[in-house]
Amino acid sequence: MRVLAALATLLLCIGFATGAWAHAALVSVEPANGSIVASAPKSVELRFNEVVTPGAIRLIDGTGKVRDEARVSASGETISIAVPQDLPQGTVVVSYRVISQDGHPVAGSVIFSIGVPSATQVPTVADGGVNALIWLMRIGLYLGLFAGVGGVFFAIWIARSTNGMLLPRGALLMGVLGAIASLPLLGLDLLGLPLTAFLTSAPWTIASRTSAGTALLIAIAAMLVAGIALRGGQGARVLSAIALAGVGLSLASSGHAATTPPQALTRPAIFLHGLGIAFWIGALAPLVVLMSRPTAAMLPILNRFSRVAVPVVAILALTGLTLAIIQLESFAALVETKYGVILSIKLALVAVLLALAAFNRLRLTPALAKNLKTAPALKRSILAECVLALAVFAVVAGWRFTPPPRAIVPEAPLAIHIHGEKAMFQVLVSPGKAGTDDFVLQLMTGEATPLQAKEATLTLSLPERGIEPIEYDAELGPDGYWHVRKVELPFAGRWHVRIDALVTDFEKVTLEDDIEVAPR
Amino acid sequence: MSKATYLIISAGLISTAASAHVSLETKQAIAGGSYKAVFAVPHGCAGSPTVKIRVQIPEGVIAVKPMPKAGWSVDVVEGKYTGEYDYHGNKVSSGAKEVVWSGGKLPDHNYDEFVISTFLTDSLKPNTTLYFPVVQECEKGVSRWIEIPAEGAARSHEGKSPAPGVKLLPKP
């Protein structure tokens, strides 16, 4: 018993000990995204808003060649890529895939140009069915956690008999296999490796270092404990309860929903949500078995289940709603984002599932109490519930591939390159949309060496809207670039940009061009 | 607002703007002759009184002699020319590169002129414009009359602070 208590405490600690988690987002890049540098920098620094684990990081040079010799090192929020010094002129693409604290990969790419920009193509990495397998294994894992662990809990606490547990046993087996296979698949996905690298150590190691790895380990532990509980004997009730708690813990320790602030709310919510699903879905298969051989003995079982099921469903709905509101931020996101679409489909399926459950509870269960011959009707209805639940799992497993609207990383800044006779200026506008923007001016001579200026001014106008030139004084930052912060661009459209760089008291270099500012 | 109104307003703006620039009084000169450059300073920097006027002497302009001015001290910054010029039989390869009037105070509501006597060597190309960039320093702020339009640039792209210029004519 003491061992069990210790195990439970340990599970709790793994689940909740990690600090503030959020979805990783790229905060800054050095050299700045879209910028032009005179010569290859020593390194490229990617800074994120949280500690990240580097996955696949590739540096593609101006000729489109992937430079494998670029060394990657990570410390805290920063990932540093040592740049080979023989890079040819042209646009360098750094594509990154890092693992955020919620265990999901965040991918993107940044560019900078050495000397002159060029149209460097990023070679695509074939997925090779990794995603499809991740999805399938995820469904298997859900089956194991909900139908398996939930089924065991039902058998021991509600049915008080472990007869006819073939299906939950099968689900447990599937779940354990799914969880074990998910681990290297996750690693393959993070590292951008093909399926053939399944048996190498890299994907296993990297996956086990992420929170998703932790979640999988908790899930495996929970399913094993449930398997032991199924053997009966003393402590089976406690064991099955611990396994059920493990389901909640596993879900609460990783994923978008669990790692969103305020975590004091989201983690307990997802924990209860998981518990509720396991209780409800776990009961379905054993109930179908019971209905196949209707006896008077099953009536108290049905009653016990129904009594608990009503508050459980209420908790499920409440926690689900809370989590959805936090993740979506707006109703429009329900249709506008992939995450929202998946949630919409799930909600529709759950609505049907709930209607079916209500029908069973209010009509078929009382009918069964009067006449045992109505059992086949209830059985069919519960079977339909099973199918729907499976559909929900399949849909929800797709969430793994979509960041929630809350976590969508801002796009790369708008950049223009103005080339003049004596100088060339690179202008970065972030976010590059109507509203408040920050400008970075990188001034270079015609030979791509830094242009020493005494002053720099930025002048903006939008002729199509009758906005006359507005002048802004730029400030020289410690990075050697000129900055104009918090510029109001009231409208989208083709803005005229003019930059004056005062080189000596009597000489200035002026370059101008147009930029297309996107709507807000 | 109709197009015609726009035109009238913009024409008005241009004409006032032109008269408000620091400019040269004599708009034409002969390349290979002497030239009295009279810089007209019509106002301060956004209302602030002028305290210093710096004129850059372009290459090819020699024999620079600023006219002293009561209440102002005048300094000449000398340096090497890029080329070598013939002045009354003497080879000249260095001389004034910049003329600075300082120590005075010209209120915004007053007008004044700053004069330099020069010789325009025949190394300067006729039918071009010779620019004398001017930096006007005030108690508050600086106005730089240093914009030189790129060759062949459209008139409409003229900057808002053009350098004073003089049209060079061929020797008759």
- Alpha-carbon gap: B57 to the closest alpha carbon of chain A (Å): 10
Question: For position A78, what pLDDT does the model report?
Answer: 86
Q: How far apart, in whole angstroms, are the C-alpha atoms of residue B165 and residue B163?
A: 6
**Token pair of B170 as six digits:** 């061929």
- Alpha-carbon gap: B54 to the closest alpha carbon of chain A (Å): 9
A457 shares its domain with A308? no
Q: Hey, what amino acid is at A259?
A: T
* Cα A64–chain centre separation: 29
Query: Is 50 exceeded by the pLDDT of residue A451?
Result: yes
On chain A, the residues whose CB falls within 8 A of the CB of B152 are: none
Contact criterion met (CB below 8 Å) for B72 and B101: yes
Inter-chain CB proximity A505 and B135 less than 8 Å? yes
- The total of structural domains in chain A comes to 3
A159 shares its domain with A288? yes
Query: Is 70 exceeded by the pLDDT of residue A19?
Result: no
Range of the domain at A69: 26-114
**Token pair of A487 as six digits:** 């510029």
Question: Percent of chain B beyond pLDDT 70?
Answer: 84
Inter-chain CB proximity B135 and A507 less than 8 Å? no
Q: Which of residues A407, A440, A472 is at a domain's end?
A: A407
Q: How far apart, in whole angstroms, are the C-alpha atoms of residue A243 and residue A53?
A: 30
Chain A residue with CA closest to B56: the answer is: A506
Question: For position A402, what pLDDT does the model report?
Answer: 67
Chain B residue with CA closest to A471: the answer is: B160
Q: Is residue A13 part of a domain?
A: no
End-to-end CA distance of chain A: 60
Residues in a beta bridge with A12: none
A320 shares its domain with A452? no
DSSP codes, A193-256? --GGGGGSHHHHHHHHTSHHHHHHHHHHHHHHHHHHHHT-STTHHHHHHHHHHHHHHHHHTSST
A188 shares its domain with A254? yes
Q: A226: closest CA among A159, A163, A165, A136?
A: A165
Q: B168: closest CA among B71, B27, B21, B43?
A: B27
Bond before B162 cis per omega within 30 degrees: no
**Token pair of A77 as six digits:** 């929020």
B169 in reach of chain A (CB within 8 A): no
Question: For position B131, what pLDDT does the model report?
Answer: 94
Q: Which of residues A72, A88, A114 is at a domain's end?
A: A114
Q: How far apart, in whole angstroms, are the C-alpha atoms of residue B162 and residue A454?
A: 19
A402 shares its domain with A422? no
pLDDT tens-digit readout, A288-304: 888 888 788 888 888 88
Q: How far apart, in whole angstroms, are the C-alpha atoms of residue A458 and residue B51?
A: 27
B54 in reach of chain A (CB within 8 A): yes
- Mean of all residue pLDDT scores within chain B: 85
At A16, the pLDDT band (50, 70, 90 cuts) reads very low
Q: Is residue A81 part of a domain?
A: yes
B100 sits in which H/E element: strand B90-106
A506 in reach of chain B (CB within 8 A): yes
A268 sits in which H/E element: helix A263-292
- Alpha-carbon gap: B56 to the closest alpha carbon of chain A (Å): 7
Chain B residue with CA closest to A420: the answer is: B150
pLDDT tens-digit readout, B128-154: 999 999 999 999 999 999 988 876 554
A262 shares its domain with A318? yes
Inter-chain CB proximity B144 and A421 less than 8 Å? no
A502 in reach of chain B (CB within 8 A): yes
Query: Is 90 exceeded by the pLDDT of residue B5?
Result: no
Tell me whether residue A344 is exposed, middle or buried, using C-beta atoms within 10 angstroms of its C-beta: 0 to 12, 13 to 18, 19 or more: middle
pLDDT tens-digit readout, A220-266: 999 999 999 988 778 888 999 999 999 999 988 877 676 677 778 88
A161 in reach of chain B (CB within 8 A): no
What average pLDDT does this structure show over B23-41? Answer: 93
On chain A, the residues whose CB falls within 8 A of the CB of B159 are: 510
Choice among A118-122, A284-288, A381-385, B143-147 with the minimum mean pLDDT: A118-122
A505 in reach of chain B (CB within 8 A): yes
- Mean of all residue pLDDT scores within chain A: 82
B159 in reach of chain A (CB within 8 A): yes
CATH class, domain B21-169, is mainly beta
Q: Is residue A14 part of a domain?
A: no
Q: Is residue A122 part of a domain?
A: no
Question: Using CB atoms, which residue from B54, B147, B159 is nearest to A505?
Answer: B54
Phi and psi at A47, nearest 5°, equal: -110, 130
A54 shares its domain with A133? no
Contact criterion met (CB below 8 Å) for A484 and A439: yes
Inter-chain CB proximity A506 and B135 less than 8 Å? yes
* Cα A157–chain centre separation: 35
Chain A residue with CA closest to B151: the answer is: A421
Using the 8-state DSSP alphabet, how is residue A69 labeled?
Answer: T
Q: Is residue A42 part of a domain?
A: yes
Query: Is 60 exceeded by the pLDDT of residue B17?
Result: no
Query: Is 60 exceeded by the pLDDT of residue B93?
Result: yes
pLDDT tens-digit readout, A394-447: 988 887 776 655 544 445 567 788 888 788 888 888 887 888 888 989 888 877
Chain B residue with CA closest to A501: the answer is: B147
At A18, the pLDDT band (50, 70, 90 cuts) reads very low
A508 in reach of chain B (CB within 8 A): yes
Q: Is residue A123 part of a domain?
A: no
Question: For position A7, what pLDDT does the model report?
Answer: 44
pLDDT tens-digit readout, A76-109: 888 888 888 888 888 888 888 887 777 777 777 7
> What predicted TM-score, i.e. pTM, was given to this entire model?
0.58
Question: For position B151, what pLDDT does the model report?
Answer: 64
- Report how many Cβ contacts below 8 Å link chain A to chain B: 20
Question: For position A13, what pLDDT does the model report?
Answer: 38
Which residue has better confidence, A506 or A296? A506
Question: For position A21, what pLDDT does the model report?
Answer: 34
Question: For position B3, what pLDDT does the model report?
Answer: 43
pLDDT tens-digit readout, A310-355: 899 999 989 988 888 887 777 777 777 777 888 889 989 999 999 9
pLDDT tens-digit readout, B53-66: 999 999 999 999 99
Question: For position B152, what pLDDT does the model report?
Answer: 54
A367 shares its domain with A230? yes
Task: Indicate which CATH number applies to the domain containing A106.
Answer: 2.60.40.1220
B133 in reach of chain A (CB within 8 A): yes
A137 shares its domain with A46? no
Question: For position A58, what pLDDT does the model report?
Answer: 82
Chain A residue with CA closest to B98: the answer is: A506
Residue A481 vs residues A30, A85, A440, A473, A476: alpha-carbon distances, Å: 12, 23, 7, 13, 6
On chain A, the residues whose CB falls within 8 A of the CB of B133 are: 506-507
Residue A347 vs residues A277, A340, A342, A497: alpha-carbon distances, Å: 14, 10, 9, 48
Question: For position A413, what pLDDT does the model report?
Answer: 63
On chain A, the residues whose CB falls within 8 A of the CB of B150 are: 421
User: How do the domains of chain B map onto residue ranges?
Assistant: 21-169
- Alpha-carbon gap: B172 to the closest alpha carbon of chain A (Å): 32
Q: Is A179 helix (H, G, I), strand (E, B) or coil?
A: helix
A346 shares its domain with A219? yes
Q: Is B107 helix (H, G, I), strand (E, B) or coil?
A: coil
Q: Hey, what amino acid is at A186?
A: L
Q: Is residue A56 part of a domain?
A: yes
Residue B72 vs residues B100, B105, B126: alpha-carbon distances, Å: 10, 8, 34
Q: How far apart, in whole angstroms, are the C-alpha atoms of residue B62 and residue B34?
A: 9
Task: Indicate which CATH number applies to the domain containing A431.
Answer: 2.60.40.1930
A138 shares its domain with A100? no
Reported residue count of chain B is 172
What average pLDDT does this structure show over A277-282? Answer: 92
Question: Using CB atoms, which residue from B54, B56, B146 is nearest to A508?
Answer: B146
Contact criterion met (CB below 8 Å) for A441 and A62: no
Angle between the N-to-C axes of helices A236-252 and A211-230, in degrees from 0 to 180, rounded to the nearest 10:
160
Q: Which of residues A114, A138, A157 is at a domain's end?
A: A114
Residues in a beta bridge with A81: A44, A72
A510 in reach of chain B (CB within 8 A): yes
A325 sits in which H/E element: helix A298-328
Q: Is residue A256 part of a domain?
A: yes
Question: For position A299, what pLDDT does the model report?
Answer: 84
Question: For position A17, what pLDDT does the model report?
Answer: 32
A421 in reach of chain B (CB within 8 A): yes
Token pair 């006007």: residue:
B136
Inter-chain CB proximity B146 and A421 less than 8 Å? no
Question: Using CB atoms, which residue from B146, B150, B159 is nearest to A506?
Answer: B146
